[in-house]
Structure 1
């Protein structure tokens, strides 16, 4: 039977503790490495004159892609640190556009700051893993102008001799 000397015992113990403390740094703490979902489900609503409008076609766009939804409705998009542009239109009735910024997820920021000493923030910003948009998006619509109204605005009131 092999006996451990008292000199090797603390060395083995300190290696074990050091390995346990180093594991989170080696395994990663950022949302990208931790397989955070890159997809996010959003709910889109369109409002005209303080009332919700149904059957409005909306296109959502960011640097990761483009998605379509009929408001009110839900759509799954790809997260990004870039703003999300929501462009909605109801033929002959109204149109509107809103821009929604993404915000960092608090838990991912804490994980990045504590575990990876902030190094994961740049990777997560590039991949969009730790960024999220507001879950409920409301687009304020403006009434469409009638063709007669548009013609009246374009009419020139000068006499031709």
Structure 2
């Protein structure tokens, strides 16, 4: 008779242990650095943004951002030096897969919506374009076709 409550408690703990939204933070600290012609450039202002927020950092520097299942866009510029526009996709972390198995998929949707089941690379190296290339401008947004 006492075995059932203990087994139920163990199953509940195992289920909760797999939920990334309970065990992982929805925030992540990343290091942003900028490079031009294979050399690091300091003092570049960068805006990082995804579907849940926007953050500013001067490189090289760390910024704490909110994780998301969506991509992280990085827009950097420094007068007389250059510009950059990049996109970094988030990657599924191990907790999300465990959550999928242990909660029959329910926790997966929670972790996807909170971003807790995803990570961006911990170091973001942004490749700058020289200032004289400014006339060309940054690449068009995703989904825009040029002819």
Match of 2:47 among 49, 59, 62: 59
TM alignment of 1:23-102, pairs within 5 A: 23-24=12-13, 27=16, 29-32=18-21, 34-102=22-90
RMSD value over aligned CA atoms? 2.4
Please, which runs of 5 or more residues in structure 2 have no aligned partner?
137-147
Taking structure 2 as the reference length, the TM-score comes to 0.81
List structure 1 segments (4+ residues) > 6 angstroms apart after TM superposition. Answer: none
Q: How many residues align?
A: 136
Match of 1:113 among 100, 106, 109: 100
In the alignment, the residues of structure 1 paired with residue 105 and residue 119 of structure 2 have an alpha-carbon distance, to the nearest angstrom, of: 19
2:20 match: secondary structure: coil
1:157 alignment counterpart: none
Structure having the higher Rg: 1
Alignment check: 8 A CA contact 1:24 1:115 kept: no
In the alignment, the residues of structure 2 paired with residue 109 and residue 48 of structure 1 have an alpha-carbon distance, to the nearest angstrom, of: 36
Taking structure 1 as the reference length, the TM-score comes to 0.75
